[in-house]
Amino acid sequence: MGGFDYTSGAWNTLIGQPGQYTLYTDGAGVQFTATIAGGSVDNKALFIRAVQLSRGGLATTTTLTKAGAAWQTTVMAMGKKVPPAPPAVLGGNITVRALVKGGRTAGVLITLPYLSIRCEHMAPSKPQQLTAAFPNWLDCYLTVLNRLPPPTGGLLGSTYRPPPVATSTAAATSAAQRLAATAALVFEEA
């Protein structure tokens, strides 16, 4: 199965650089991108505002926008809004499910045969952040389900390490334990 090795802090390389970033690509033609915006009291924090997964002509997007005083999450697949159930199926092996919390769309779960991507709508909880100026954001988690199709690339994809080939079970287990099956891109509240 393998996993991600981003101990050098892939997320931290973006500090002070809002924009569109490729988080993951693979040999099956999948591309996962994020739109990252700056914000917070000192305007130095980064927040994921939108994500898109595409493969060939297939696409799904999840966006987080402010509508009046409220933040709203919208999940689309092939240009159509995705309801909480049933999930949308793209190309036969990509499923897209809108996640719901409190009766409202609150994120997305995208599943491929070898990778699961979960992005959740988050809101500030610290007292110093509970201001109208402090934004909401998406926290995203990529979880390896099976060996990823090589080559992998992007901010997180480039840190993927396939399962180690070892001469002993103990060596293989030790090497695999150093890899994270899930890579997280989250805003850490200070």
CB neighbours of 12 closer than 8 A, spacing ≥ 6?
none
- Per-residue pLDDT of 25-84, as tens digits, reads 999 999 999 998 876 666 667 788 999 999 999 999 999 998 888 889 999 999 999 988
Predicted local distance difference test score (pLDDT) of residue 79 = 95
Residue 58 near residue 91 (C-beta atoms within 8 A): yes
Hey, what are 77's tokens? 């697949």
Predicted local distance difference test score (pLDDT) of residue 18 = 81
**For residue 151, cis peptide bond before it (omega within 30 degrees of 0):** yes
Predicted local distance difference test score (pLDDT) of residue 183 = 80
Predicted local distance difference test score (pLDDT) of residue 136 = 85
Predicted local distance difference test score (pLDDT) of residue 56 = 94
- Per-residue pLDDT of 124-177, as tens digits, reads 776 666 665 678 889 999 999 999 999 999 988 888 888 877 555 555 455 445
pTM across the whole model? 0.86
Lowest mean pLDDT among 11-25, 84-98, 104-118: 11-25
Print burial letters for 111-148: b (CB count within 10 Å at least 16), e (below 16): bbebbbbbbbbbebeeeebeeeebbbbbbbebbbeeeb
Predicted local distance difference test score (pLDDT) of residue 115 = 96
For the chain, which residues make up each domain, given as ranges?
3-185
- Per-residue pLDDT of 97-126, as tens digits, reads 999 999 999 999 999 999 999 999 988 776
